[in-house]
């Protein structure tokens, strides 16, 4: 057993405590509040992106961090004398630690749980924000952003998993849209906070103040993480079946454990876990990293969707948006102001996803998004070339405002399509035992390609100017073709049924009935009930066409049979609750 495996085993929770007010919040209020609270992690990611962009055009920041005494005119003309790698390092120093944190967060998420892992990420963000807030020089700021990268990697991996695992079948896309909305609102908030501090605050406070706001939001997320429900799928996977059932009921049925939809979801999770264990490699409820090779197509979709999201240009634009607007002709205060306006449009982007992605599907959103992004980038590139080569024509046509309109259109369409959908796909493609590691690998690829974009976008823009946007437009067209030819549609399907779309999954037949549900059916048929009390049978088809029988046999001792018969009298009223009790009785017998 490796050191990490020992850590995972030792860190596994021994007890689960409910801290949210069940009677007050059970049902949709709990579902939406949990989703919104977890989405503060996404808001932090968006906020940090906007801060980096705003800092690049603030003379006090450039003087303190880069050691260059520059004027606003030099910033506008792009003649600051700052080496192009310095702003790139400011981006990459966050992204590189995020790659490793995303991969390691799979162990944290599988062993400690989703909500505890979110808390760890928020704590790292809080510590990093405080370090950056008092940073006296470039090295200290880099150290703070590196710690922040650890928190960003953890949050960007764990929050989407938490969202899809608490969501009902028909609402995963909606909650992913809410998640993207929070990220975009975070970016917009940073743009307006940066503008307000730049206009009203003392020079040093103009960039330290927004970092204090980031620390405050991190603290709020730490506090909220103590009140979140744990993912019901994580609870059931780790033996907390009664707690998992109750959490499902609290999230989806106002606490009613007899609800039919809750019963079906609970049974699907239990049966799917048994099939995954039987059809897997004998490693138990949580798959090792080597199991990734068993899911090649899912891994390819998860990683390439993140790669295309980066190559379609979002971070090349977000990290340098005020600079791009300044070089298009705006002065610095107006560049920051119109950055905030573009960010507000960006925040509206996820609304179509919230309303329609579960109805229209993931593929359609990505394909339409690729076309729209290519058109917007072509418009921006054409106008930027106009600004660069015919500046005297400004009297007849304001190219700077045209660039602003093109940027706003681009951000809206990205926020509606390639913003939320890749995160949603990565979180819902993989089976439960592999979900944390599959999501970690996809998120690590996202941060890796953000490093590539961060290192290359500034030099490429300096070399190509407006033609750089045509390069991004070509990447958008290519990504749309790949989605059209190679991606699958996952909307409207339970998480436990998505595996059947890839050919490497069970089931030819799944009898999704828990113990008491089977008792209920047998009573209607007039058959004996006692012998079936503790039996769950699932017939699974492996990837090579063979099938295996998974059977949990009934208890042998008379006392337990008697207890089972007593509980069966209440099966009609509470089938799922009976299922949880049977599981607890089995655990008691094993311990004895």
Q: Which of 477, 497, 517 is the last residue of a domain?
A: 497
Mean pLDDT of the chain: 78
Cα–Cα distance, 236 to 15 (Å, whole number):
13
Listed residue (289, 45, 28) closest to 175, CA to CA = 28
Mean pLDDT highest for which of 63-67, 118-122, 174-178, 515-519? 118-122
Q: Is the pLDDT of residue 111 over 80?
A: yes
CA distance 231 to 223: 18
- The whole-number pLDDT of residue 7 equals 60
Cβ–Cβ < 8 Å for 178, 126 = no
Q: Are 415 and 428 found together in one domain?
A: yes
Q: Which residue has the higher pLDDT, 589 or 51?
A: 51
Structure tokens at 315: 């971070």
Q: How many domains does the chain have?
A: 2
Q: What percent of the chain has pLDDT over 90?
A: 28
Give yes or no for residue 529 having a pLDDT over 60: no
Would residue 13 count as lying in a domain?
A: no
Top mean pLDDT of 17-26, 123-132, 446-455 is at 123-132
Q: Calculate the alpha carbon distances from 168 to 116, 172, 312, 346, 373 in Å.
A: 22, 7, 31, 27, 31
Q: Of the spans 83-87, 256-260, 528-532, 536-540, which averages the highest pLDDT? A: 256-260
The model's pLDDT over 211-233, given as tens digits with 9 standing for 90+, comes to 999 999 999 999 999 989 999 98
Task: Tell me: pLDDT of 584 over 60.
Answer: no
- Report which DSSP code applies to 497: G
Q: In this structure, are 117 and 78 located in the same domain?
A: yes
How large is the average pLDDT for residues 328-346? 88
- Whether residue 407 is predicted with pLDDT greater than 50 in this model: the reply is yes
Residue 133's pLDDT is what? 93
- pLDDT value of residue 76: 66
- As a dihedral over the C-alpha atoms of residue 317, residue 322, residue 327, residue 328, rounded to 10 degrees, the angle is 80
Indicate if 108 and 186 belong to the same structural domain.
Answer: yes
Residue 423 half-sphere exposure, CB side, CA atoms within 13 Å?
34
CA 430 remoteness from chain centre: 14
pLDDT in tens, 479-498: 999 999 889 888 877 776 77
Residue 1 lies in a domain: no
Q: What are the E-state strand segments in 319-432?
A: none
Query: Best-predicted range by mean pLDDT among 61-65, 216-220, 525-529, 555-559?
Result: 216-220
Are residue 398 and residue 253 in the same domain, yes or no?
Answer: no
Q: Are residues 211 and 325 in the same domain?
A: yes
What's the pLDDT at 264?
Answer: 86
Structure tokens at 292: 């990734």
DSSP annotation of 509: B
In angstroms, the first-to-last Cα distance of the chain is 27
In whole angstroms, what is the distance from residue 546 CA to residue 564 CA? 34
Task: Give Cα separations from 592 to 270, 323, 471, 558, 587 (angstroms).
Answer: 24, 69, 67, 15, 9
Least confident span in 234-248, 389-403, 405-419, 538-552: 538-552
pLDDT value at position 3?
Answer: 62
Q: What would the 3-class secondary structure string for 256-310 be?
A: CCCCHHHHHHHHHHHHHHHHHHHHCCCCCCCCCHHHHHHCHHHHHHHHHHHHHHH
* pLDDT interval class at 535 (50, 70, 90): very low
Q: Are residues 461 and 574 in the same domain?
A: no
Domain end among 457, 476, 497 = 497
Within 8 A by CB and 6+ apart from 298, the residues are 429, 430, 438, 502
Domain extent at residue 344: 25-236+287-497
Residue partners of 89: CB distance under 8 A and separation at least 6: 142
Cα-Cα-Cα-Cα torsion 570, 574, 579, 583, nearest 10 degrees, comes to -70
Residue 55: both structure tokens together: 């800092």
The residue assigned the tokens 């807030």 is: 133
16 is a domain residue: no
List the one residue out of 534, 541, 471 whose CA is nearest residue 506.
541
Q: Is the pLDDT of residue 282 over 80?
A: no
Q: Is residue 7 part of a domain?
A: no
Tell me: do 106 and 164 sit in the same domain. yes
Q: H/E element holding 340?
A: helix 332-348
The two most distant CA atoms of the chain are separated, in Å, by: 95
Query: What confidence tier does 260 reach under pLDDT thresholds 50, 70, 90?
Result: confident
Q: Do 322 and 305 share a structural domain?
A: yes
User: Is the same domain home to 514 and 486?
Assistant: no
Same domain as 138, residue 38: yes
Asked whether residue 6 is assigned to any structural domain, the reply reads no
In this prediction, residue 171 carries a pLDDT of 76
Q: Is the pLDDT of residue 309 over 50?
A: yes
Regarding whether 346 and 318 lie in a shared domain, the answer is yes
pTM, whole model, 2 decimals?
A: 0.75
Same domain, yes or no: 204 and 300: yes
Count other Cβ atoms within 10 Å, centred on residue 330.
21
In a domain, 94, yes or no: yes
Predicted pLDDT of residue 517: 41
| Digit-coded pLDDT (tens) for 48-82 | 888 888 888 888 888 888 877 777 777 766 667 77
Q: Give the pLDDT confidence of 342-365 residue by residue, as tens digits.
A: 999 999 999 998 888 888 888 999
Summarised one tens digit per residue, pLDDT across range 429-439 is 887 778 888 88
The tens digit of pLDDT for each residue in 410-453 reads: 999 999 999 999 988 888 888 777 888 888 899 899 999 998 98
CATH number for the domain that contains residue 185:
1.20.1250.20
Q: Is 5 domain-assigned?
A: no
* The domain boundary residue, chosen from 448, 477, 497: 497
Which pLDDT score, from 0 to 100, does residue 276 have? 67
- Please state the rounded mean pLDDT for residues 131-158: 93
Q: Does pLDDT of 189 surpass 90?
A: yes
Task: Supply the pLDDT for residue 592.
Answer: 47
Pick left, alpha or beta for residue 450 (phi over 0 → left; psi -120 to 50 → alpha; otherwise beta). Answer: alpha
Q: 345 lies in a domain?
A: yes
Tell me 63's DSSP state: I
């Amino acid at each position: 057993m490796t050191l990490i495996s020992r850590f995972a085993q030792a860190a596994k929770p021994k007890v689960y405590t409910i801290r949210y007010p069940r009677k007050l919040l059970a049902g949709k209020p709990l579902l939406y509040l949990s989703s919104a609270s977890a989405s503060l992690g996404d808001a932090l990611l968006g906020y940090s992106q906007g801060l980096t962009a705003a800092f690049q055009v603030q003379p006090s920041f450039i003087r303190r961090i880069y050691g260059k005494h520059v004027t606003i005119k030099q910033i506008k003309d792009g003649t600051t004398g700052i080496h192009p790698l310095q702003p790139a390092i400011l981006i990459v120093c966050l992204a590189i630690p995020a790659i490793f944190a995303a991969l390691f967060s799979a162990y944290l998420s599988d062993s400690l749980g989703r909500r505890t892992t979110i808390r760890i990420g928020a704590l790292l963000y809080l510590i990093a924000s405080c370090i950056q807030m008092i940073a006296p020089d470039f090295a200290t700021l880099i150290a703070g952003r590196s710690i922040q990268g650890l928190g960003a990697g953890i949050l960007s991996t764990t929050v989407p998993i938490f969202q899809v695992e608490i969501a009902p079948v028909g609402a995963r896309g909606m909650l992913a849209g809410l998640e993207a909305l929070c990220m975009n609102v975070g970016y917009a908030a940073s743009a307006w906070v940066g503008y307000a501090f730049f206009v009203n605050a003392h020079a040093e406070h103009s960039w330290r103040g927004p970092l204090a706001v980031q620390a405050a939001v991190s603290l709020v997320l730490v506090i909220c993480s103590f009140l979140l429900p744990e993912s019901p799928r994580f609870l059931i996977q780790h033996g907390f079946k009664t707690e998992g059932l109750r959490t499902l009921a609290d999230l989806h049925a106002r606490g009613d454990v007899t609800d039919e939809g809750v019963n079906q979801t609970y049974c699907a999770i239990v049966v799917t876990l048994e099939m995954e264990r039987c059809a897997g490699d004998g490693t138990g409820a949580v798959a090792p990293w080597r199991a990734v090779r068993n899911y090649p197509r899912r891994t390819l979709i998860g990683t390439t969707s993140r790669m295309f999201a980066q190559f379609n240009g979002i971070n090349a634009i977000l990290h340098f948006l005020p600079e791009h607007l300044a070089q298009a002709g705006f002065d610095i205060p107006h560049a920051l102001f119109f950055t905030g306006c573009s960010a507000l449009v960006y925040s509206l982007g996820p609304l179509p996803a919230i309303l329609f992605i579960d109805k229209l599907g993931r593929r359609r959103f990505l394909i339409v998004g690729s076309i729209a992004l290519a058109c917007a980038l072509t418009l921006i590139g054409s106008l930027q070339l106009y600004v660069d080569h015919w500046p005297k024509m400004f009297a007849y046509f304001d190219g700077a405002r045209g660039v602003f309109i093109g940027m706003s259109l681009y951000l809206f369409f990205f926020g509606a399509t390639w913003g939320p959908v890749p995160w949603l796909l990565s979180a819902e493609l993989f089976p439960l035992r592999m979900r944390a590691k599959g999501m970690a690998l996809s998120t690590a690829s996202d941060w890796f390609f953000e490093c590539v974009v961060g290192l290359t976008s500034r030099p490429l823009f300096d070399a190509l100017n407006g033609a750089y946007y045509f390069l991004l437009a070509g990447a958008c067209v290519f990504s749309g073709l790949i989605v059209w030819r190679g991606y699958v549609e996952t909307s409207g399907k339970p998480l436990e049924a998505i595996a059947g779309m890839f050919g490497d999954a069970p089931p030819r037949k799944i009898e999704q009935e828990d113990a008491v549900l089977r008792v209920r059916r047998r009573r209607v048929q007039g058959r004996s009930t006692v012998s079936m009390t503790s039996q769950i049978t699932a017939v699974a088809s492996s990837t090579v066409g063979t099938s295996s029988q998974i059977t949990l046999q009934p208890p042998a001792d008379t006392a337990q049979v008697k207890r089972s018969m007593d509980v069966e009298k209440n099966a009609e009223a509470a089938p799922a609750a009976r299922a949880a009790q049977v599981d607890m009785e089995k655990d008691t017998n094993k311990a004895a």
